[in-house]
Amino acid sequence: MKKTFKLLAGILGLISLFGLLHQTDFSLVQLAASEPSAAETATQSSINWLLIIVSILIGGIIVLIFDITNLTTRVTGKNILDWNKLNAWLCLVFLILGMGAAFWEFFYHGKYVITEKATAHAENMNMMFNATLFFTGIVFVIVQVLLFYFLFKYRTKEGRKATYYSHNNKLEIVWTAIPFVTMAVLVLMGMKTWSNITKKSSDNPKEIEIYAYQFGWNARYSGADNIFGEASFNYISGTNPLGLPVDAEIDALIVSLTKELNGDTIEVNGEPRIIPGLYTQVKDSIFNLYHQSLLEEASGIGLTYTEDKRNALQKKIESIESGAAMADLEAAIYRKEKQIQRIAQIRSAPSAKETIFNGSTYDDVISNEIHLVKGEEVIFLFRARDVIHSAWMPHFKVQMNVVPGMQTRFRFTPIKTTAEARVERGNEEYDYYMFCNKVCGSAHYNMKIKVVVETQAEFDEWMKTQKPAFAKVNENEVQLEEVAPEASDSAKIENKELALK
Amino acid sequence: MSTAAHADHGSHGDHHHKETFISKYVFSMDHKMIARQFLITGIIMGCIGVFLSVLFRLQLAWPETQFGILKMFLGSFAADGVLSPEYYMALVTIHGTIMVFYVLTAGLSGTFSNLLIPLQCGSRDMASPFMNMLSYWFFFLSSVVLLSSFFVSTGPASAGWTVYPPLSALPKAVPGSGLGMTLWLTAIALFIVSALLGGINYISTVLNMRTKGMSMNRLPLTIWAFLLTAILGLLSFPVLLGAALLLIFDRSFGTSFYLSDIWLPGEGAYANVGGSPILYQHLFWFLGHPEVYIIIMPALGITSEVIATNARKPIFGYTAMIISLIGIAVLSFLVWGHHMFITGMNPFLGTMFMFITLIIAVPSAVKTFNYLATLWRGNLKFTPGMMFAIGLVSFFVSGGLTGLFLANAALDIAMHDTYFVVAHFHLVMGSSAIFGMFAGIYHWYPRMFGRRLNESLGHLHFWLTFVSAYLVFFPMHFMGLAGVPRRYYMFTVIPEFEIWADVNVMITIAAIVGSVAQIIFLWNFFSNIFRGEKSEQNPWKSNTLEWTAPLEGIHGNWPGAIPTVYRGAYEYSRPDREEDYYPQHIPGDDDGVYHPESEQKATIRKETVEVSKDKEIVYFTALRSIFGLNKG
Amino acid sequence: MNQKIENLMKPRQESYRGVQPVKFLVWLIIIASIMLFGAVTSAIVVRSADGAWAKFAVPNQFYISTVIVLLSSLMIQLAYVNAKKDNLFYTKLFVGLSIILGVAFIGTNYSGWMELSNAGFALSNDMVGGQSASFFHFATYLHAAHVLLGLLFLLVTFIRIYQYKVHGKNLLMINISTTYWHFVDILWIYLFLFLILSR
B239-282 per-position pLDDT tens digit: 999 999 999 999 999 899 999 889 998 888 998 888 899 999 99
Which residue among B13, B208, B254 sits closest to C19, beta carbon to beta carbon?
B208
Range in A162-166, B299-303, C105-109 with the lowest mean pLDDT: A162-166
The 3-state DSSP class for residue B134 equals helix
Hey, where are the domains in chain B? 21-545, 546-627
Structural contact between residues A451 and A346, judged by C-beta atoms closer than 8 angstroms = no
Taking 50 as the pLDDT cut, the residues of chain C under it are: 1-2, 5, 8-9, 11
Structural contact between residues A66 and B457, judged by C-beta atoms closer than 8 angstroms = yes
Which residue among A86, A132, A387 sits closest to B411, beta carbon to beta carbon?
A132
Alpha helices in B419-559 (DSSP H): 419-425, 432-449, 455-481, 501-531
- Answer whether residue C105 is part of any domain: yes
Task: Tell me phi and psi for residue C101, to 5 degrees.
Answer: -65, -35
Using pLDDT thresholds of 50, 70 and 90, give the confidence band for residue A456. very high
> How far, in Å, CA of B34 to CA of B15, rounded?
19
Which CATH number fits the domain that encloses residue C139? 1.20.120.80
Percent of all residues in chain A with a pLDDT value above 90, rounded to a whole number: 35
- The reply to whether A92 and A5 lie within a common domain is no
Q: Chain B contacts of C52, Cβ < 8 Å?
A: 274
The yes-or-no verdict on residue B631 having pLDDT over 50 is no
- The reply to whether A174 and A219 lie within a common domain is no
B207: contact with C, CB 8 A cutoff: yes
Cβ distance B351 to A334 less than 8 Å, yes or no, reads: no
- The reply to whether A394 and A490 lie within a common domain is no
> How far, in Å, CA of B410 to CA of A123, rounded?
12
- Answer whether residue A237 is part of any domain: no
Identify the residue among B119, B209, B215, B249 best suited for mutation to test binding to C, counting C beta carbons within 10 A and taking the highest. Answer: B209
Structural contact between residues B346 and A123, judged by C-beta atoms closer than 8 angstroms = no
pLDDT at A397: 92
Return the half-sphere exposure (C-beta side, CA atoms, 13 A cut-off) of residue C147.
30
Sequence letter at residue A194: W
Of B234, B363, B212, B380, the C-alpha closest to B300 is B363
Q: Which residues contact C107 (CB under 8 A, 6 or more apart)?
A: none
- Answer whether residue A234 is part of any domain: no
Which CATH number fits the domain that encloses residue A367? 2.60.40.420
Task: Tell me phi and psi for residue B123, to 5 degrees.
Answer: -125, 160
pLDDT at C162: 85
The yes-or-no verdict on residue B599 having pLDDT over 90 is no
**Mean pLDDT, chain A, whole residue set:** 81
Q: How many domains does chain A have?
A: 4
Q: Chain B contacts of A132, Cβ < 8 Å?
A: 404-405, 408, 411
Q: What residues of C are in the B interface, CB distance below 8 Å? A: 3-4, 7-8, 11-14, 16-22, 24-25, 28-29, 31-33, 35-36, 38-40, 43, 46-47, 50, 52, 123-124, 126, 128-131, 134-135, 138, 142
Chains that touch A (3 or more CB pairs under 8 A): B
- The reply to whether A369 and A338 lie within a common domain is no
Which residue among B269, B276, B354 sits closest to A236, beta carbon to beta carbon?
B269
Range in A343-352, A353-362, A416-425 with the lowest mean pLDDT: A353-362
Structural contact between residues B335 and B360, judged by C-beta atoms closer than 8 angstroms = yes
Task: Tell me phi and psi for residue B571, to 5 degrees.
Answer: -85, 70
Q: What is the 3-state secondary structure (H, E, C) of B63-120?
A: CCCCCHHHHHHHHHHHHHHCCCHHHHHHHHHHHHHHHHHHHHHHHHHHHHHHHHHHHH
Q: How many domains does chain C have?
A: 1
- The reply to whether A185 and A286 lie within a common domain is no
> How far, in Å, CA of B356 to CA of B336, rounded?
10
Which residue among C7, C39, C126 sits closest to B273, beta carbon to beta carbon?
C126
Q: Chain A contacts of B401, Cβ < 8 Å?
A: 136, 139-140
Q: What is the 3-state secondary structure (H, E, C) of A36-80?
A: CCHHHHHHHHHHHHHHHHHHHHHHHHHHHHHHHHHHHHHHHCCCC
Cβ distance C11 to B127 less than 8 Å, yes or no, reads: yes
pLDDT at B555: 83
- The reply to whether A438 and A375 lie within a common domain is yes
- The reply to whether A351 and A253 lie within a common domain is yes
- Residue-wise pLDDT for A227-268, tens only, equals 888 888 999 988 888 888 888 888 889 999 998 888 888 888
Domain region containing C192: 55-198
Which residue among B15, B208, B241 sits closest to C36, beta carbon to beta carbon?
B241
Name the helix (H) or strand (E) containing A380: strand A378-384
Which residue among C7, C24, C29 sits closest to B208, beta carbon to beta carbon?
C24
Chain B residue with CA closest to C24: the answer is B204
pLDDT at C11: 47
Q: Which residues contact A109 (CB under 8 A, 6 or more apart)?
A: B475, B478, B479, B482, B503
Q: Chain A contacts of B316, Cβ < 8 Å?
A: 165-168
- The reply to whether A410 and A441 lie within a common domain is yes
Higher pLDDT: A273 or B111? It is: B111
Burial class from Cβ neighbours inside 10 Å (0-12, 13-18, 19+) for residue B547 reads: buried
Domain boundary among A21, A52, A81: A81
Go through B26-65 and write b for each residue having 16 or more CB atoms within 10 A of its CB, e for each that does not.
eebbbbbbbbbbbbebbbbbbbbbbebbbbbbbbbbbbeb
- The reply to whether A90 and A133 lie within a common domain is yes
Higher pLDDT: B46 or B560? It is: B46
Structural contact between residues B399 and B467, judged by C-beta atoms closer than 8 angstroms = no
The 3-state DSSP class for residue A263 equals coil
- Residue-wise pLDDT for B189-229, tens only, equals 999 999 999 999 999 999 988 988 898 989 999 999 999 99
- Answer whether residue A235 is part of any domain: no
**What number is the average pLDDT over the span A29-43?**
47
Which residue among B381, B496, B594 sits closest to A156, beta carbon to beta carbon?
B381
Q: How many CB pairs under 8 A join B and C?
A: 136
- Answer whether residue C48 is part of any domain: no
- The reply to whether A195 and A214 lie within a common domain is no
The yes-or-no verdict on residue B14 having pLDDT over 50 is no
Of B385, B301, B373, B209, the C-alpha closest to B569 is B301
Which of left, alpha, beta for B615 (phi over 0: left; psi -120 to 50: alpha)? left
- 3-state helix, strand, coil split of chain A in percent (to 5) is 60, 15, 30
The yes-or-no verdict on residue B629 having pLDDT over 60 is no
Range in A210-214, A332-336, B15-19 with the lowest mean pLDDT: B15-19
Of B187, B159, B189, the C-alpha closest to B171 is B159
Q: How far is B135 from chain A (nearest CA, A)?
A: 33
The yes-or-no verdict on residue B468 having pLDDT over 90 is yes
Of C139, C147, C53, the C-alpha closest to B245 is C139
Using pLDDT thresholds of 50, 70 and 90, give the confidence band for residue B180. very high
Using pLDDT thresholds of 50, 70 and 90, give the confidence band for residue A28. very low
Alpha-carbon separation of residue A499 from A168, A239, A255, B398 (angstroms)? 88, 20, 16, 70
> How far, in Å, CA of B410 to CA of A197, rounded?
7
Cβ distance A180 to B572 less than 8 Å, yes or no, reads: no
Task: Tell me phi and psi for residue A458, to 5 degrees.
Answer: -60, -40
- Residue-wise pLDDT for B311-358, tens only, equals 999 999 999 999 999 999 999 999 999 999 999 888 899 999 999 999
Cβ distance B65 to A44 less than 8 Å, yes or no, reads: yes
Range in A36-50, B112-126, B452-466 with the lowest mean pLDDT: A36-50
- Residue-wise pLDDT for B558-591, tens only, equals 888 889 998 889 989 888 888 888 899 988 766 6
pLDDT at C52: 83
Using pLDDT thresholds of 50, 70 and 90, give the confidence band for residue B41. very high
Q: Count how many residues are written for chain C.
A: 199
Q: Between residues 239 and 298 of chain B, which touch chain C (CB distance below 8 Å)?
A: 239, 241-243, 245-246, 249, 253-257, 271-276, 279, 282-283, 286
Of A477, A456, A486, the C-alpha closest to A244 is A477
The 3-state DSSP class for residue B616 equals coil
Of B308, B116, B309, the C-alpha closest to B230 is B116
Sequence letter at residue C156: V
ipTM score for this prediction: 0.92
The yes-or-no verdict on residue B187 having pLDDT over 70 is yes
Using pLDDT thresholds of 50, 70 and 90, give the confidence band for residue A159. confident
Cβ distance A190 to B408 less than 8 Å, yes or no, reads: yes
Burial class from Cβ neighbours inside 10 Å (0-12, 13-18, 19+) for residue A309 reads: exposed
pLDDT at A8: 56
- Answer whether residue A469 is part of any domain: no
- Residue-wise pLDDT for A468-499, tens only, equals 877 544 444 444 443 333 333 443 444 444 44
- Answer whether residue C86 is part of any domain: yes
**What number is the average pLDDT over the span B84-104?**
94
- Answer whether residue A427 is part of any domain: yes
- Answer whether residue A479 is part of any domain: no
Which residue among B516, B573, B594 sits closest to A161, beta carbon to beta carbon?
B573
pLDDT at A484: 36
Chain B residue with CA closest to A116: the answer is B482
Torsion on CA atoms B133, B134, B135, B140, rounded to nearest 10: 100
- The reply to whether A18 and A58 lie within a common domain is yes
Structural contact between residues A429 and B381, judged by C-beta atoms closer than 8 angstroms = no
pLDDT at B609: 46
Q: How far is A166 from chain B (nearest CA, A)?
A: 5
pLDDT at A61: 73
Cβ distance A30 to B71 less than 8 Å, yes or no, reads: no
> How far, in Å, CA of A122 to CA of A395, rounded?
9
- Answer whether residue A434 is part of any domain: yes
Structural contact between residues B246 and B257, judged by C-beta atoms closer than 8 angstroms = yes
What DSSP line would sit under A107-133, residue for residue?
Answer: HHTGGGS-----BTTHHHHHHHHHHHH
- Answer whether residue A480 is part of any domain: no
Go through B504-522 and write b for each residue having 16 or more CB atoms within 10 A of its CB, e for each that does not.
bbebbbbbbbbbbbbebbe
Range in A296-305, A487-496, B90-99 with the lowest mean pLDDT: A487-496
Of C19, C33, A132, C70, the C-alpha closest to B420 is A132
Highest mean pLDDT: which range of A138-152, A154-168, C154-168: A138-152
- Residue-wise pLDDT for A368-420, tens only, equals 999 999 999 999 999 999 999 999 999 999 999 999 988 899 999 999 999 99
Sequence letter at residue C90: Y
pLDDT at A449: 94
> How far, in Å, CA of A52 to CA of B590, rounded?
62
Q: Chain C contacts of B246, Cβ < 8 Å?
A: 40, 43, 138
Fold (topology level) of B21-545:
Cytochrome C Oxidase; Chain A (1.20.210)
Q: How far is B568 from chain C (nearest CA, A)?
A: 19
Cβ distance A166 to B594 less than 8 Å, yes or no, reads: yes
> How far, in Å, CA of A340 to CA of A355, rounded?
20
pLDDT at A479: 41
Of B539, B558, B447, B530, the C-alpha closest to B115 is B447
Q: How far is B122 from chain C (nearest CA, A)?
A: 10
Burial class from Cβ neighbours inside 10 Å (0-12, 13-18, 19+) for residue B404 reads: buried
Using pLDDT thresholds of 50, 70 and 90, give the confidence band for residue A1. very low
Q: Which residues contact C92 (CB under 8 A, 6 or more apart)?
A: C158, C161, C162
Q: Chain B contacts of C18, Cβ < 8 Å?
A: 207-208
Domain region containing A104: 83-158+165-199
Chains that touch C (3 or more CB pairs under 8 A): B
Q: Which residues contact B357 (CB under 8 A, 6 or more apart)?
A: B335, B338, B403, B407
Cβ distance B365 to A175 less than 8 Å, yes or no, reads: yes
Of B47, B130, B22, the C-alpha closest to B522 is B47
- Residue-wise pLDDT for B50-79, tens only, equals 999 999 999 999 888 888 777 777 777 877
- The reply to whether A220 and A278 lie within a common domain is no
pLDDT at A84: 86
Q: Which residues contact A406 (CB under 8 A, 6 or more apart)?
A: B260, B276, B277, B278, B344
**What number is the average pLDDT over the span B400-421?**
93
Range in A104-108, A280-284, B589-593 with the lowest mean pLDDT: B589-593
Structural contact between residues B268 and B174, judged by C-beta atoms closer than 8 angstroms = no
**What number is the average pLDDT over the span A19-43?**
45
Which residue among A199, A400, A439 sits closest to B89, beta carbon to beta carbon?
A439
> How far, in Å, CA of B117 to CA of B497, rounded?
49
pLDDT at A289: 83
Q: Between residues 539 and 558 of chain B, which touch chain C (CB distance below 8 Å)?
A: 556
Q: Which residues contact C123 (CB under 8 A, 6 or more apart)?
A: B249, B253, B254, B255, C117, C133, C134, C137, C138, C141
Name the helix (H) or strand (E) containing A190: helix A169-198
